[in-house]
Structure 1
């Protein structure tokens, strides 16, 4: 305890030193400015006024004659009068040299340390008498009072003594020490020993306070600092809990009020701030020491009054720094939140907080500096509400939160025209407490009750959005719209059955898009994306099931249908928001604003997943038998749908990115599933002529698009080979390759090469001619290297004979084509 007292005294001494240094520096600057001003005034008084030349000449002659006469008289007086000694210069006033280490340690600190030592000497003398039992309570109190009065009398004496009156610090030290001692004496007499009644003690405190104010007016700030340090340290030295917490808080409250009054009277903002810090430090100390053991209601009342009084006193005392003016208010609100659990979140705890919050709003109404404090009060309100609703005993939390919501919402709505911070206050007050209560304590009200409550909060926020409507990017308009949409979504979801969140999400998404079109504010167009994201998050589990099915399919699983979610559930949780998003993307080019591309990707991907799941439903391939009968059919339909849609969009020059994505998807599906992973030639499935038709149709889509000629040629070759395979094997294409089938492949490739060459020659298509020649070369190599090894006798002879004749004919025809002269260009028209 003694170490703590010394620490506080050291802090008080450091504060006093800093204040005195600032005052001395300011006085030195004022003195220099005054000397400069006096010098300027003297110069102006000595400067003669201009006169005419003639009058100046006459004046000079008369003044010279008068000066000669005066000099003669003076010389006669000097000869007759005795020599007189020069007058003694006046004694200078007491001043300290400029601040340095020597003057600080040798001339300034000892006086103040000595004053602190006097106060400690008095306190510890009384404490020693208590411990030793030397004096009774009345004698101890009387001696302490005499000691304080003696110090005050000493302060007046040193002001009058010739040896000390020039050093004002001596009077300041004695006066401050005396005031501190008298405060401590009154605390002992009333709280410790009960020697005087409470009313008498109050009157005595008032008298001492008036005396302290008078002495501070007489001696200046140092006396006030000493009084502050002594008054706040007196209970700590004497034992803060010796007489109970309530009398201590009454004492601290009266002492703080006296200091606030003195600070306001003398415009000492630093004194009001120091009193606030010391008072709130006492509150924090008591909260930590008591640890929830009783008297918390008294501490809460003291905290509320101190924070409110400090917030009113600081500007009246001349303090201009906005954050210093806010500090006591914020600390007081935080301390009330810390006290509330000890009061079981009862009416007292909420009353203290609401009264201080209301005082914050009044201060913010009168001075905009306190607006951040009002916003902080709302944030702390949400923290207090959360603590109360999650506690074992909720106490008055529901009612207190409702009153606080009405308080902040009403103030924000009434003063919304003053600035954006009031709008933020109204939005937080309307939506914050309701949403926190619904999240943490959903059983407080039935679903319909929550819906009505949230609908009322929606109307409050929507009023602000309507008031702020404009085509400008106003953050307040965006915030009001966002809060209204959020509250409306939650309100609409309450009467609906479980799992139908997509309906309010879709409705609000559409409402936001229409509101953005109505207001034309650029920032509002992006808000529907948030509701689309919310819908995707709400449908996360079904989407994960679809992703799992797709992954299983890509890795070779023949029955991915078993991984898919129920299509009815997927429609219920996702279809409506995705449909609404796609509708606005198609109908309004401004929909979703800067996030249009992201919205298109999300909505388009979700729509594809929905269509994929829907397309899997008719065949429902969940068994190996179903896969054997319908597996290839289903894959071919999916692939052709993607290719046809992409082809149609690209030919119509609409949505080129989506068209290219669909074409790439179709070609990737065909390559991976039909030619590599689940090729009907290796995996048993009913393909037959469908494979050839499937590949030929895919080749057709690609032949009509100039950039896909290479995939078109490859697909054409694959279609020809598939036709031969179907002819050789029937509907099931698995099995070995026979010699007749092998020859059929060569014949089909040869015919295809001839068709390309013929079409290329007829249409002048260089790419087709090159493709035909290339395929012809490959076919020739196949016949010589593969087919010849499998044939024997007459078949080999006929094979080579036919190939030779065909090659000769092709070479002759192609050489004739190359030998044709180029067509002469047409002459230009005659003009």
Structure 2
């Protein structure tokens, strides 16, 4: 009691000193204002006599009259006191003029709180006396605020009254908390009535004194339970106190249009929620009350934000999203009980109701659905799922029914319809597949797919393309998962293919550009499901390219390939016929599908011979390889000839040529690696293989690159013909004398063919190649062949070479001597 008396005495002395100082400042201010007014008064010169007309007094020079006595100078204004009387808004004004008053008000509140706490700790007063002391202190502060508002010394500065009123309101709130929750001095009903009275007083004082009083009341009201001990009387009374206090603040904010007050109250409320959630981690019995408080705070704050005129849509929906997140965080501590689900579903329903009234809250509804899926997944993975399956069904109806009903009104309702129909069901299936039998899941998902498909059709009929992709995607996803329940896992590609085809056909009907991209999704899903066979293909390609003679051992099983890849690849290749399909992903998905298609054909083509041993490789390795290469060359040639899919045709032709060079000339050259090519001259696999390759190239457009490749493969075919004629079925072995002469003869013929073709078609490059080969053959005969021959064979060799050279020279000379006709377009191009 002595400490309290001393504190009041000190406060009174300080208050008198402040009043005296304010009086002196007021007198000084009035003096300065009078000086300023005097300095701004215009000085009037005494009236002068009318000067006589100029004609009455002829102009003459007169002496200047003596200067009149100057009036006494006015006192100059003093700038420094004027600056003191109206300080500029800045650091000096804030720290020297505003903060001290506000901090002083907070200090008064804290002084009263700590005074009561001191009396408790030292046993100086009983509960009733402490409560009465706190009430008198709060009432004294409120009375002081009214006195300061009316007193001549302080009425010109409303901040003093504002600070005192705010401190008094905060003290009264704390007093009620002490009396009702901590000491139980008054019954709950009386405490509620008293709380309403204090709230009314706080509203009135805030309306009378302005924002600073409201800010002081906010600070004091939220800090009071911490000073008194937040858990002294239990969490329930504390939350009731916080709820009523927040309601008062929101009401004041709405009445005065103070959005800042509603925002500050919301932030403080959520701060209390998180504080209590951490503090009550080991006392889950009090957490349901925290959940209820969270639900009320989120809904009330969002409504208050809108009513106070906050324009930002993200600020308006922030309390709802924060409340939903808070409830998701509290749910595990509440063991995902029906009460926890009830809190969340009620707040989600409130969010949907606000969205129905004002589309600004649409993002909050979508966030509520997303957080619901998180909450559902967390609940369903628990050993005891409890109420979660029922809550998932209720959540589906909560979001899907209004979404489907109002889908044509706004885009967000269509999004809620699609996501609300598919999301909870798919999450439940993924998190708890053992809840239902597979066919039950399938039936539910197909029914949901039909609902989403009907939604897409309604949007199409209403000419609303914006949400058609979302509805279509939901329908396709549900259909794929639902159909997968009726087939074995190895046939997962079948439902994905059905969905792929359905999405492609629907895109052609709806003609919405975004829909043409959707068939890519089931195809990618099919590729992911077929990861193992695709990895087997990669292993096969590596083994084959590095010289493994038995790549069949690395080939995936044909049945597995047909089940996992054949259907989706064929379906995607069919969709490529429509140039609108797949959008920007068309090139890389099309390339992937074509590559996989070629690998599938390759795998199927290797099945009949099944070369899995070295003897079978010797017997059939070259034949199988030649057939595969010729298939690529023939397909590419046909596409390029008909100008259908020319890019694919070029790829196939290049693939065939690369296979020929890498496998038949480098890795598995039959002259070096024993492989059967056939015993008949000219009718064997080796010669036909090279000759057909040359034919495909010769018959294509007369571009220089094709002619060079055709000439090269013609040379290879000629050499193979000589080799096979001298060695038979197996081309391995040394080069004999007859074979060497055969090479010279056949190369001489090839050079003559090149020269004839170059002259007939007027291809300069081909003529040069023929002359070059002729030079090489001539040098070979004179330098190599002649040394290996003697007698009649040498004579015949030189005789044949001479006749051939004379004929070639005669024909080429006639060509050079004849006038050159106009070059055809093909030659001009070369």
- The answer to whether TM tops 0.5 is yes
Conserved? CA contact 1:155–1:175, under 8 Å: yes
2:356 aligned with 1:365: yes
Matches of 2:723 and 2:464 in 1, distance apart? Answer: 66
Q: Hey, what does 1:452 align to over in structure 2?
A: 443
Matches of 2:725 and 2:153 in 1, distance apart? Answer: 132
Conserved? CA contact 2:408–2:459, under 8 Å: no
Q: Hey, what does 2:292 align to over in structure 1?
A: 301
Conserved? CA contact 1:473–1:522, under 8 Å: no
Conserved? CA contact 1:471–1:520, under 8 Å: no
Q: Hey, what does 1:555 align to over in structure 2?
A: 546
Conserved? CA contact 1:184–1:235, under 8 Å: yes
2:370 aligned with 1:379: yes
Q: Hey, what does 2:191 align to over in structure 1?
A: 201
Conserved? CA contact 2:635–2:649, under 8 Å: yes
Aligned-residue offset at 1:380: 1.3
Conserved? CA contact 1:470–1:519, under 8 Å: no
Aligned-residue offset at 1:815: 3.4
Which residue of the other structure, out of 338, 347, 364, is the alignment partner of 2:329?
338
Conserved? CA contact 1:750–1:776, under 8 Å: yes
Q: 1:794 to 1:387 in 2, by over 3 A?
A: same
Q: Hey, what does 1:746 align to over in structure 2?
A: 744
Q: Hey, what does 1:220 align to over in structure 2?
A: 210
Q: For each residue in 1:338-365, what CA deviation from the matched residue of structure 2 results, as whole angstroms up to 9, or x when unmatched?
A: 1111001111111001111111111111
2:776 aligned with 1:785: no
Q: For each residue in 1:644-703, what CA deviation from the matched residue of structure 2 results, as whole angstroms up to 9, or x when unmatched?
A: 222222222222112222211111111111111100000011114321122112222222
Matches of 2:88 and 2:220 in 1, distance apart? Answer: 30
Q: Hey, what does 1:151 align to over in structure 2?
A: 141
Aligned-residue offset at 1:816: 4.5
Q: 1:760 to 1:244 in 2, by over 3 A?
A: closer
| Matching of residues 1-20 of structure 1 within 5 Å | none
Q: Hey, what does 1:31 align to over in structure 2?
A: none
Matches of 2:252 and 2:762 in 1, distance apart? Answer: 106
Aligned-residue offset at 1:132: 0.9
Which residue of the other structure, out of 692, 705, 709, is the alignment partner of 1:697?
692
Which residue of the other structure, out of 96, 110, 117, is the alignment partner of 1:127?
117
Matches of 2:167 and 2:655 in 1, distance apart? Answer: 90
Aligned-residue offset at 1:385: 1.7
Q: Hey, what does 1:287 align to over in structure 2?
A: 277
Q: 1:282 to 1:593 in 2, by over 3 A?
A: closer
Conserved? CA contact 1:276–1:306, under 8 Å: yes
Q: Hey, what does 1:172 align to over in structure 2?
A: 162
Matches of 2:812 and 2:299 in 1, distance apart? Answer: 104
Conserved? CA contact 1:168–1:219, under 8 Å: yes
Which residue of the other structure, out of 735, 738, 741, is the alignment partner of 1:737?
735
Matches of 2:408 and 2:605 in 1, distance apart? Answer: 56
Conserved? CA contact 1:471–1:521, under 8 Å: no
Conserved? CA contact 1:639–1:669, under 8 Å: yes
2:618 aligned with 1:628: yes
Describe the SS at the equivalent of 1:733: coil
2:246 aligned with 1:256: yes
Conserved? CA contact 1:363–1:370, under 8 Å: yes
Q: Hey, what does 1:11 align to over in structure 2?
A: none
Matches of 2:329 and 2:405 in 1, distance apart? Answer: 30
2:263 aligned with 1:265: no
Q: Hey, what does 1:69 align to over in structure 2?
A: none
Q: Hey, what does 1:606 align to over in structure 2?
A: 596
Matches of 2:93 and 2:348 in 1, distance apart? Answer: 49
2:352 aligned with 1:354: no
Which residue of the other structure, out of 106, 109, 112, is the alignment partner of 1:116?
106
Q: Which moved more, 1:764-773 or 1:374-383?
A: 764-773
Aligned-residue offset at 1:292: 4.7
Q: Hey, what does 1:669 align to over in structure 2?
A: 659
Describe the SS at the equivalent of 2:489: coil
Q: 1:759 to 1:617 in 2, by over 3 A?
A: same
Describe the SS at the equivalent of 1:469: helix
Matches of 2:449 and 2:413 in 1, distance apart? Answer: 17
Matches of 1:812 and 1:635 in 2, distance apart? Answer: 44
| Matching of residues 521-536 of structure 1 within 5 Å | 521-536=512-527
Q: 1:324 to 1:696 in 2, by over 3 A?
A: closer
Please tell me the root mean square deviation across aligned C-alpha atoms, in Å: 2.5
2:275 aligned with 1:277: no
Q: Hey, what does 1:106 align to over in structure 2?
A: 96
Aligned-residue offset at 1:795: 3.7
Conserved? CA contact 1:470–1:521, under 8 Å: no
| Unmatched 5+ stretches in structure 1 | 1-93, 826-831
Q: Hey, what does 2:411 align to over in structure 1?
A: 420
Q: 1:735 to 1:309 in 2, by over 3 A?
A: same
Matches of 1:215 and 1:810 in 2, distance apart? Answer: 120
Describe the SS at the equivalent of 1:416: coil
Q: Hey, what does 1:45 align to over in structure 2?
A: none
Aligned-residue offset at 1:424: 1.8
Q: For each residue in 1:383-419, what CA deviation from the matched residue of structure 2 results, as whole angstroms up to 9, or x when unmatched?
A: 2122222334433222222212221112222222332
Matches of 2:815 and 2:645 in 1, distance apart? Answer: 42
Q: 1:355 to 1:787 in 2, by over 3 A?
A: same
Conserved? CA contact 2:149–2:155, under 8 Å: yes
Q: Which moved more, 1:807-816 or 1:419-428?
A: 807-816
Q: 1:546 to 1:473 in 2, by over 3 A?
A: farther
Q: Hey, what does 2:802 align to over in structure 1?
A: 804
Matches of 2:166 and 2:760 in 1, distance apart? Answer: 117
Matches of 1:594 and 1:120 in 2, distance apart? Answer: 66
Q: For each residue in 1:173-197, what CA deviation from the matched residue of structure 2 results, as whole angstroms up to 9, or x when unmatched?
A: 2222222111111111121122222
| Unmatched 5+ stretches in structure 2 | 1-83, 679-683, 824-830
Q: Hey, what does 1:78 align to over in structure 2?
A: none
Matches of 2:744 and 2:774 in 1, distance apart? Answer: 10
Q: Which moved more, 1:268-277 or 1:344-353?
A: 268-277
Q: 1:584 to 1:272 in 2, by over 3 A?
A: closer
Q: 1:408 to 1:790 in 2, by over 3 A?
A: same
Q: 1:325 to 1:819 in 2, by over 3 A?
A: closer
Conserved? CA contact 2:408–2:462, under 8 Å: no
2:574 aligned with 1:583: yes
Aligned-residue offset at 1:805: 4.0
Matches of 2:749 and 2:150 in 1, distance apart? Answer: 132
Matches of 1:610 and 1:480 in 2, distance apart? Answer: 34
Q: Hey, what does 1:574 align to over in structure 2?
A: 565
Q: Hey, what does 2:482 align to over in structure 1?
A: 491
| Matching of residues 438-449 of structure 1 within 5 Å | 438-449=429-440
Which residue of the other structure, out of 643, 648, 667, is the alignment partner of 2:633?
643
